[in-house]
Amino acid sequence: MKDNVESYVTEDGRTIGGLLMEMKSITLRFGGVVAIKDISFDIREGEIRAIIGPNGAGKSSMLNVISGFYRPQEGEVWFRGKPRPSMKPYQVARQGIARTFQNIALFEGMTVLDNVMTGRLTHMKAGLASQALWRGAAEREETENREKVEKIIDFLEIQAIRKTPVGRLPYGLKKRVELARALAAEPMLLLLDEPMAGMNVEEKEDMSRFILDVNDEFGTTIALIEHDMGVVMDLSDRVVVMDYGRKIGDGTPDEVRGNQDVIDAYLGVSHD
């Protein structure tokens, strides 16, 4: 574990910075159901942090806690060395956090371009009148935002579907469009909820490459949930393993792979 160092450089030459987010003894309950039980871990700047675990382990809930959508009953979320107050979703977005969803949440009737443009919402400052009249600031902003969006379209290689309504796209591409929208917000922390679920091998490889490239080119910190162990182990710098709402492992992929609790949780354990 590299808990105590300020920053370090990975084998492939990326710099991992200091602590970006800290989960401190988080407990989350829905009525009588305890979804997350006393979990602590941190996310460092510039790293790819995976959260894995069997079905119902509480991974998505954890992601919702990080994004500020759920408020834990106990424990605190620290952001850049300070406790984070409870926030509205738009405040979270302004803080530089963007996410994708397990069940794609795009505007099906809108084109890919328009969908990705919605990701720029927090960067649009022009007033209502200006927007309606399409003069001055609004027009200028649109041009700037479009430029940013086109860079992302180019980056994710979705030029061919720029003008296609999202509803007509296959699943794998929708996932990519969702990633594009999240990236359009120029987040410092990107939360990906099962970015590779339901994809075939080729699509998974493409998506993995995009995630690595995003991290590498934009320096975006990424926290992701994923079921495919092979993918997780290849992509991540550090992995948190959850089971039944508890944290049962935390460390580099190699450390996690050797952890007996993790092996038991995934392969099952005999009770005799």
Select the span of 18-26, 28-36, 73-81, 209-217 touching another protein (CB under 8 A): 209-217
Site size toward another protein, by CB under 8 A: 19
Q: Which residues pair with residue 22 across a beta bridge?
A: 42, 78
Residue 6 within binding range of another protein, rule CB under 8 A: no
Residue 143 within binding range of another protein, rule CB under 8 A: no
Q: Which is nearer to another protein, 79 or 210 (CB)?
A: 210
CB of 145 to another protein, least distance (A): 12
If we measure between CA atoms, which residue out of 17, 99, 105, 27 comes closest to residue 63?
99
CB of 237 to another protein, least distance (A): 14
Q: In the chain, which ranges are continuous DSSP H helix?
A: 59-67, 89-94, 112-118, 128-133, 137-155, 171-184, 201-218, 229-235, 253-257, 260-267
Q: What angle do CA 164, 112, 146 make, to 5 degrees?
A: 125
Contact map string, positions 146 to 185, toward another protein, x by CB under 8 A: xx--xx-xxx-x-xx-xx----------------------
Q: What is d(CA 72, CA 26) in angstroms, rounded to the nearest whole number?
A: 6
Helix axes 137-155, 201-218, angle to 10 degrees: 130
Residue 14 within binding range of another protein, rule CB under 8 A: yes
Q: Give residues 47-106 in contact with another protein (rule: CB under 8 A).
A: none
List residues near another protein by CB under 8 A.
12-14, 146-147, 150-151, 153-155, 157, 159-160, 162-163, 209, 213, 216-217
